């Protein structure tokens, strides 16, 4: 039964539990134009973003779940809606060096580490505080050695549903020992709206502000090459539908089973907040512009979504949702020519990501 107290229809009791001695709950953000977001502090998972279409109809545009149990289960393998960290993406053989020491992470993707392993930020309970209706503060103290990373890392995130209909994420972190740090958000979007079944995102139009992208091998590891998008299916400098070229006989698309690649964003300065991408659903008229302070944007077209059932019996077949993950380039430790993700003791880490919603007919 849909709960009538929130637009999404989630029952808060389904998210109230205790995991590792820490309380979990459902948090609801609203702005004055009627948008709503549901979030649980387990994995800082975004469960819903209710966005109006071009006729003013509100629908959820992210993959989400009815219960904490389901959210835990599916975010474990698919990282649905969660924050990823300390380091997003793959690290070859799960090995890196900071200072004079080598560190070894859990290998959870062939013989490599994906999204910091099975015990990353997406599996911990964040301390949450909601100071106002449209904002949630989330904090986590990542202990030295946790998930294999050095340093006690104090992480703070602010989720804001802005008055102009954006979901804004501000990250901050400090460490007491040099470490690696490069988090992202793993929301799966479908701007037509989550449904039963959720329809393919192949009709979504995308534009990405990138002249280059990072090729991968057959295990989705980065080869270290920085390749031009010109004359390839990775050229999104003008608008293309996701499906237009996704099934081409292109080695990179075959390696990724679709798009699962990092785009090198065009920037005047390395960490300026700038435009990264636009995504439009022609069916609903919903449009999302992505802005980031980070140099990279991973577009992952839900190639491995297996069709499981989520919120209100919605289903999520392969390619029914797309992720736009803002972050530094993946596997930086093994590619010294990529911008560094070392966070030094005493430094203040900052990152901002904005998913801006609007409509066009
Ligand atoms: C990665 C994919 C991976 C997916 C997990 C994405 O960020 O790039 O390769 O399969 O996360 O759901």
Residue 310 CB contacts under 8 Å (≥ 6 apart), including other chains? 63, 64, 65, 66, 70, 74, 194, 316
- Pocket of ligand 1 contains residue 292 by CB under 6 Å: no
**Phi-psi label, residue 180: left if phi above 0, alpha if psi -120 to 50, beta otherwise:** beta
Task: Report d(CA 84, CA 120) in Å as an integer.
Answer: 7
Task: Report d(CA 320, CA 297) in Å as an integer.
Answer: 19
Overall domain count for the chain: 2
Task: Report d(CA 183, CA 350) in Å as an integer.
Answer: 10
Whether residue 186 lies in the annotated active site: yes
Q: Is residue 24 part of a domain?
A: yes
Q: Are residues 285 and 142 in the same domain?
A: no
User: What parts of the chain have a pLDDT lower than 70?
Assistant: none
pLDDT of residue 1: 72
Q: Are residues 216 and 142 in the same domain?
A: no
| Strand, coil or helix: 27 | strand
Q: Are residues 180 and 107 in the same domain?
A: yes
| Strand, coil or helix: 286 | strand
Contact 102, 121 (CB under 8 A): no
Q: Are residues 224 and 135 in the same domain?
A: no
Q: Is residue 360 part of a domain?
A: no
- Pocket of ligand 1 contains residue 259 by CB under 6 Å: no
Contact 51, 41 (CB under 8 A): no
Q: Is residue 219 part of a domain?
A: yes
Q: Are residues 238 and 323 in the same domain?
A: yes
C-alpha count within 13 angstroms, C-beta hemisphere, residue 94: 18
DSSP 318-361: TTS-BEEEEESPTTGGG-TTSPP-EE-TT--EEEEEEEEEEE--
Q: Are residues 17 and 166 in the same domain?
A: yes
Whether residue 325 lies in the annotated active site: yes
Query: Domain containing 122 — which CATH number?
Result: 2.70.98.10
Q: Are residues 181 and 212 in the same domain?
A: no
pLDDT of residue 2: 83
Is 0.95 topped by the overall pTM? yes
55 CA to middle of ligand 1, Å?
A: 33
Q: Is residue 191 part of a domain?
A: no
| Strand, coil or helix: 13 | helix
Task: Report d(CA 121, CA 198) in Å as an integer.
Answer: 27
Q: Which of 185, 213, 232 is the last residue of a domain?
A: 185
Q: Are residues 180 and 295 in the same domain?
A: no
Q: Is residue 199 part of a domain?
A: no
The strand pairing partners of 341, in sequence order, are none
Helix (H) or strand (E) segment spanning residue 68: helix 68-78
Task: Report d(CA 267, CA 12) in Å as an integer.
Answer: 42
Domain that holds residue 45: 12-185
Q: Would you give the distance in Å from CA 75 to the centre of its chain? A: 12
Q: How many residues does this entry show for the chain?
A: 361
Q: Are residues 298 and 270 in the same domain?
A: yes
Q: Are residues 96 and 244 in the same domain?
A: no
Q: Is residue 280 part of a domain?
A: yes
Active-site position among 186, 222, 261, 312 = 186
Q: Are residues 154 and 267 in the same domain?
A: no
Q: Which of 123, 150, 185 is the last residue of a domain?
A: 185
- Pocket of ligand 1 contains residue 331 by CB under 6 Å: no
Angle, CA of 84, 88 and 89, to the nearest 5°: 130
Instruction: Look at residues 63, 39, 60 and name the one whose alpha carbon lies nearest to residue 49.
Output: 60
Q: Are residues 82 and 137 in the same domain?
A: yes
Nearest CA to ligand 1 atom 10: 304
Task: Report d(CA 89, CA 122) in Å as an integer.
Answer: 13
Q: Is residue 292 part of a domain?
A: yes
Q: Is residue 361 part of a domain?
A: no
Residue 232 CB contacts under 8 Å (≥ 6 apart), including other chains? 250, 252
- Pocket of ligand 1 contains residue 220 by CB under 6 Å: yes
Q: Which of 185, 216, 240 is the last residue of a domain?
A: 185
């Amino acid at each position: 039964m849909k709960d009538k107290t929130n637009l999404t229809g989630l029952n808060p009791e389904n998210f109230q539990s205790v995991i590792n001695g820490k309380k979990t709950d459902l948090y609801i953000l609203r702005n004055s134009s009627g948008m709503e977001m549901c979030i649980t502090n387990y994995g800082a998972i975004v469960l819903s973003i209710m966005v109006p279409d071009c006729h003013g109809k509100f629908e959820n545009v992210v993959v989400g779940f009815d219960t904490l149990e389901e959210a835990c289960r599916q975010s474990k393998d698919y990282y649905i809606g969660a924050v990823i960290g300390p380091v997003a993406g793959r690290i070859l053989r799960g090995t890196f060096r900071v200072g004079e020491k080598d560190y070894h992470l859990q290998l959870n993707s062939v013989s490599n580490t994906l999204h910091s392993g099975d015990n990353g930020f997406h599996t911990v309970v964040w301390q949450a505080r909601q100071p106002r209706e449209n904002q949630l503060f989330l904090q986590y103290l990542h202990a030295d050695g946790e998930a294999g990373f050095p340093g006690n890392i104090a992480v703070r995130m602010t989720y804001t549903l802005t008055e102009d209909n954006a979901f804004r994420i501000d990250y901050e972190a400090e460490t007491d020992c040099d470490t690696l740090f490069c988090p992202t958000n793993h929301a799966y979007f479908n701007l037509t709206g989550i449904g039963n079944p959720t329809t393919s995102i192949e009709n979504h139009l995308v534009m990405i502000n990138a002249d280059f992208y990072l090729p991968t091998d057959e295990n989705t590891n980065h080869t270290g090459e920085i390749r031009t998008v010109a004359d390839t299916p990775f050229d999104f400098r003008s608008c293309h539908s996701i499906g237009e070229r996704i099934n081409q006989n292109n080695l990179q698309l075959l390696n990724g089973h679709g798009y699962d690649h990092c785009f090198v964003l065009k920037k005047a300065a390395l960490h300026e907040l700038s435009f990264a991408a636009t995504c439009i659903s022609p069916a609903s008229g919903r449009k999302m512009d992505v802005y980031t302070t980070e140099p990279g944007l991973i577009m992952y077209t839900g190639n491995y979504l297996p069709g499981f059932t989520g919120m209100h019996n919605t289903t999520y077949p392969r390619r029914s949702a797309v992720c736009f993950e803002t972050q530094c380039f993946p596997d930086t430790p093994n590619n010294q020519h990529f911008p560094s993700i070392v966070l030094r003791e005493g430094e203040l880490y900052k990152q901002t990501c904005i998913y801006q919603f609007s409509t066009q007919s």
